Each structure stands twice: as structure tokens, then as C-alpha cells.
Amino acid sequence: MASKCNVVSVVGLLLVLTLLQNPVTVSGQRNSGAGLFTFGDSNFDAGNKQTLTKASVAQGAWPYGKSRDDPNGKFSDGFIAPDFLAKYMGITIEIPPALVPGVNVSRGASFAVADATLLGAPVESLTLSQQVRKFNQMKANWNDDFIKKSAFMIYIGANDYLNFTKNNPNADASAQHAFVTSVTNKLKNDISLLYSSGASKFVIQTLAPLGCLPIVRQEYKTGMENCYEPLNDLAKQHNAIIGPMLNEMAKSTQGFQFTVFDFYDAIIRRTAKPSSYRLFMTNASCCGIGSHDAYGCGLSNVHVKLCEYQRSYLFFDGRHNTEKTQEMFAHLLIGADKNVIQPMNVRELVVYPVDESMTELWVPPTPATVQARESVSSSHGYESY
């Protein structure tokens, strides 16, 4: 009996020592030492807009940050997806807004700014190419090895299509196609610019169904049940180009690695089957006024309505998701399978050997993969997808 106890004790001690030598986060992601850099628009803005503009910004005031009692310039009632993703990657400090002087950028930074576009010259914002230029100005903060093994996360293009549709309400199919080509070509060029700056691991998020945003439903008077399909069509055209474009870049560029998160489908599934994800309202906002409560959240001169329980909502304001759903998306990014993010999830991407060519590439969804998504989401709810 004593010898058995001794064996158990030794085994237990070895397990403890192993865990101490190989710490993991609660999500199961071993800390790879990689950082996280984010680029794009208000979805990933960690507080840059309120630094860049001279005016007071809505997202810097309550009820933004409501769930954390901290209106910190993020477009949510609390944390946003990159905050959670960083935690799951084993990063123990907050990923800060790069435009704020004196912040700790040792594990990455957010260069995303609200109102950002790929084309044009956004007012009091930065295009993606300008964000990349800012990254290059700050490159001395990180060594080349750290940059190369870190994840570079991009979500941009929504403002380009929202502005195009507003300014060209009668654009025909040819004009729409030409504009999508211009936007996606610019995205490719800007990703190439980041690659030439030392980045090698890219997380590209497809555009949301823009016609289903509460502010779009409200402005185009679609009613509660319908989306504004012209904008959804533009988003679909854009998204269809992303995977093949990145495949080509991976084939032709040494060490270029990527993954694509199907954000469009993640939103559509929650809109179509709210109860599967423990949501109650998916077509109107928690904070705002109007037919879909989509306008004015955080504005001092607007008397908005605020929902009682934001965790039952998909959208906090007219364009941005609640902290609860942001956390869901981060779970998908770090650990979902190829039905949601492909050709690998972020956990796999950050440990993929640097400078090696990818052995798998993005493949178009098939009826079988779509059916698999529906089957898993119906049986497991938000925990899976």
C-alpha cells in the first residue's frame, strides 16, 4: 500500500512540475509568445478615435462600457473580440490603442480607427494604408522575430460599401462590381505592405451582412424582419474574393500564412436562430432611438433608450455587437473548426512554424459544410459556433 501511495505521489509531483513548465490559459492555448496587432475600423478600435479627433466621441461616454463600468473608447458595452482573443492567446496585458501616447505595446497594439476605409480620405480617421504606415513608424518597439510570429488581424471595408451605397443608390451591377474590385485590390495591396513590413500571420475577418445592421435597417426602412439586400450583396461579392486572393498570396509569397473568419455567416446564424445562441433580440440595438433603436447611443444631445439586459442582444448600438457576442466570436477565432474559420484557427496559426509554406489553403463552402454548420449550431448553441 505504501509503495502505491509513493508512486501516486511521484506521478502527481511530475504533473505539477510539467504544468509549471508549460503554463496554459483557461482556453487551453499555450502562451506562444506571439503578440496581437489589429487594424481596421470601429469594430477593432480600442480607443484610437477618441485620441485622433478633437471632438468628444460617443463611445467615450456611458452607456458604452456599461458591462464593465468603463466607457473607454470601444464600441461595445464592454470588451471587444480582440480583447478576448488576446487573453486566449496567453497575452496577460490589454492590447492598447496605438495612437495613445505612453501605452504598453510590448505584446501588440490596435491601429484600428472608427470610420476607417480602404479608399478615399476618411475624416478624422485613417485608411488601412495609413494605419500600416503608423505601424512602421512604431516598429522599433518590437524585434523582427516577435513581429513575424504575431497575429495581424484585419476587419475593414464596411464603411467603403456603406458610403458607396449611400452616394450611389442607383448603381447598376457593373458599377458595383467595379467598386468591389477597387476595394479588394486595395486590401490586397495593403496586406502586401504589412507583409513587406515584417508581418507573416494574417487573420482576415469577412464583412458582416451590412444590410442587416440595425442602423441600415432603420435608415432604409426595411421593417423588423428584412435586411437591406443591396448592401448584403456587396458584402457577399467582397467576401467571395477574400479566400481566393489570400490563397494566391500564400502560393506566391514565401512564409505568408493566413486564416479567414467567416464573420458574415456568424452574424447571419445568430440573426436567423437567436435562441440557439441564448439571444433574444438580433434585429434591433440595445442602445439608441428610432424604429430599430439604432441611432444616437452615447450622444449627449440625444435621449436614447437603453435595454435592460444587454446580454440578450446581438447588437449594442446600430453597428456594433454586445460584449457577450464579441466573446462568442473570440471563441470561434481561437478554436473553431474549418466550418467557421479556415484553413486553420488562430490557435493553430500562431504556433505554425514561421517561414514555412502552408500545407492547406482556403476552400469555398459547399452545401455539405453549410449543413454541418447548421447541425452543430443547433445541437451545441453558442459554445461551438
Contact 257, 250 (CB under 8 A): yes
Amino acid at 233: D
Q: Is 115 in the active site?
A: no
- CA triple 48-51-54, angle to 5 deg: 135
Q: Which of 262, 317, 377, 384 is catalytic?
A: 317
- pLDDT, residue 96, reads 97
- pLDDT, residue 380, reads 45
Q: Which of 82, 164, 315 is nearest to 93 (CA)?
A: 82
Q: Which of 179, 157, 322 is nearest to 242 (CA)?
A: 157
Query: How do the pLDDT tens digits run along the chain, 385 residues long?
Result: 444 445 445 444 444 344 334 333 334 445 669 999 999 999 999 999 999 987 778 998 899 999 998 888 999 999 999 999 999 999 999 999 999 999 999 999 999 999 999 999 998 999 999 999 999 999 999 999 999 999 999 999 999 999 999 999 999 999 999 999 999 999 999 999 999 999 999 999 999 999 999 999 999 999 999 999 999 999 999 999 999 999 999 999 999 999 999 999 999 999 999 999 999 999 999 999 999 999 999 998 898 999 999 999 999 999 999 999 999 999 999 999 999 999 999 999 999 999 999 999 999 987 655 555 555 444 444 444 4
- pLDDT, residue 138, reads 98
Q: Per DSSP, what are the bridge partners of residue 289?
A: 295
Contact 153, 260 (CB under 8 A): no
- pLDDT, residue 379, reads 42
Q: What's the CA gap between 92 and 255, in Å, rounded?
A: 28
DSSP letters of 355-369? TPPPSS------HHH
- What does the block give as the cell for 182? 477597387
Cβ atoms within 10 Å, residue 226: 13
Q: Is 69 in the active site?
A: no
Q: Is 45 in the active site?
A: no
Q: Which of 41, 42, 200, 238 is catalytic?
A: 42
Dihedral over Cα of 66, 71, 74, 80: its sign: negative
- What does the block give as the cell for 69? 463600468
- What does the block give as the cell for 353? 512554424
DSSP state letter for 289:
B
Q: Per DSSP, what are the bridge partners of residue 258?
A: 202
Q: Which of 156, 244, 169, 275 is nearest to 206 (CA)?
A: 156
Where b means 16+ CB within 10 Å and e means fewer, 302-338 reads eebebbeebbbbbbbbbbbbbbbbbbbbbbbbbbbbb
Q: Which of 200, 320, 331, 377 is catalytic?
A: 320
Residue 129 vs residues 110, 196, 197, 294, 349: alpha-carbon distances, Å: 14, 13, 12, 30, 24
Which distant-in-sequence residues (6+ apart) come within 8 Å of 199 by Cβ? 37, 147, 148, 150, 152
Q: What's the CA gap between 265 and 261, in Å, rounded?
A: 9
Amino acid at 274: P
Element (H, E) at 146: helix 144-149
